[in-house]
Amino acid sequence: MGSPDPNAGQGAGIAAIVNSPVTAMNEIDWAAWREEFPGLRLSTYLNTVSLGQLSRRSRTAMNQFMDLWTETGSAAWYAHWLKEQQASREEFARLIGADPREVAIMPNVSSALGAISSSLDFAKRSQVVTTALDFPTLTYHWLAKKREGLEAVILAAPDGIQVPLAAFERAVGGNTALIATSRVYFTTGFIQDVDALAELAHRNGALLLVDDYQATGQVPINVRQTPVDVLITGGLKWLLGGPGIAYLYVRRELIQTLQPTMTGWFSNARQFDFDPHHLEFHEDARRFEAGTPR
């Protein structure tokens, strides 16, 4: 891991994690890494669970973004920003063991949930199983769909720390469309057995959606080895990238079967045709990207 590259630009937050070789802890230059985060001079920071510290490279990247905006205007999209967007897909894919074609760039978790839920047919299976320990964005999304006939089952935590796998087993059945839960609970830090949840979901013909916001960047995952169907996370917390960017992974075998109704011009494979009469989805996960990214 060594020390941080002070000249790193946009996308470097994930790249620093992905591209660094595994190094013995005693070989890490901790002083150099602390200097990468000037806020650590002001306090002992213990709230990355809410917002990660601002790094020097992130500030540099934001300044570069504004400079390009000033100097080139809309040309920045075609010369720089769309390439940066693809670079972010590729870096995040490496981080979780995915293919870049399985990754969509989203503005936040709510938008990612909307893209997925608008792709599912709840007339066939009308139940989603989640838990009381998950971040409320996850439960609110399914509760709001009650008006569409969806049943949101919110499992309790008997000890206030975890939800036993047995509780999921009792709740999941032939009417379950989705298990939607976290790999790491924001409330307690408990790490769920995602492999067991995936096996349970698939055994019952359901999908597994994982809110990975409190895990990505601190608890490794390889989606080829842990068979999640959908994983949603973002840069706000442990990826230290700040607000305004989230990542949506969808397993490649599912992508072609999902056609979101919450959509926009970035979903269209022929977006620059500006044809108001035809929507042709991208063949990859870009079909879940709706409007112009921030």
Decide if 282 is inside a domain: yes
How far, in Å, CA of 126 to CA of 175, rounded? Answer: 6
Residue 258 · residue 245 · CB < 8 Å = no
Contacts 24+ apart (CB under 8 A), 166-170: 168/129, 168/197, 168/200, 169/200
State the total domains in the chain.
2
Note down the domain range covering 53: 12-85
- Which pTM was predicted? 0.88
130 belongs to a structural domain: yes
Whether 128 is in a domain gets the answer yes
What lies within 8 Å, CB to CB, of 210 at 6+ separation is 181, 182, 183, 194, 228, 230, 231, 232
Same domain for 271 and 131, yes or no, is yes
User: What pLDDT is recorded for position 9?
Assistant: 44
Residue ending a domain, choose from 29, 50, 85: 85
CA distances from 65 to 9, 81, 155, 207 (A): 10, 8, 43, 38
The CATH code of the domain that includes 161 is: 3.40.640.10
Per-residue burial over 140-163, b = 16 or more CB atoms within 10 Å of its CB, e = otherwise: ebbeebeeeebbbbbbebeeeebb
Which residues lie closer than 8 Å to 46 by C-beta, 6 or more apart? none
**Residues 48, 117 share a domain:** no
Q: What is the pLDDT along the chain (294 residues), one digit of tens a residue?
A: 555 554 454 444 444 544 555 556 678 888 898 999 999 999 999 999 899 999 999 999 999 999 999 999 999 888 898 899 999 999 999 999 999 999 999 999 999 999 999 999 999 899 999 999 999 999 999 999 988 889 999 999 999 999 999 999 999 999 999 999 999 999 999 999 999 999 999 999 999 999 999 999 999 999 999 999 999 999 999 999 888 899 999 999 999 999 999 998 898 889 888 989 999 998 989 999 988 877
Same domain, 57 and 131: no
Q: How far apart are CA 247 and CA 199, in angstroms?
A: 24
Residues 66, 216: Cα–Cα separation, whole Å: 28
Task: Pick the closest to residue 116 from 209, 223, 241 (CA basis).
Answer: 209
Are both 54 and 179 inside the same structural domain?
A: no
Residue 37 is assigned to a structural domain of this protein: yes
Residues 128 and 184 reside in one and the same domain:
yes
Q: Is residue 94 part of a domain?
A: no
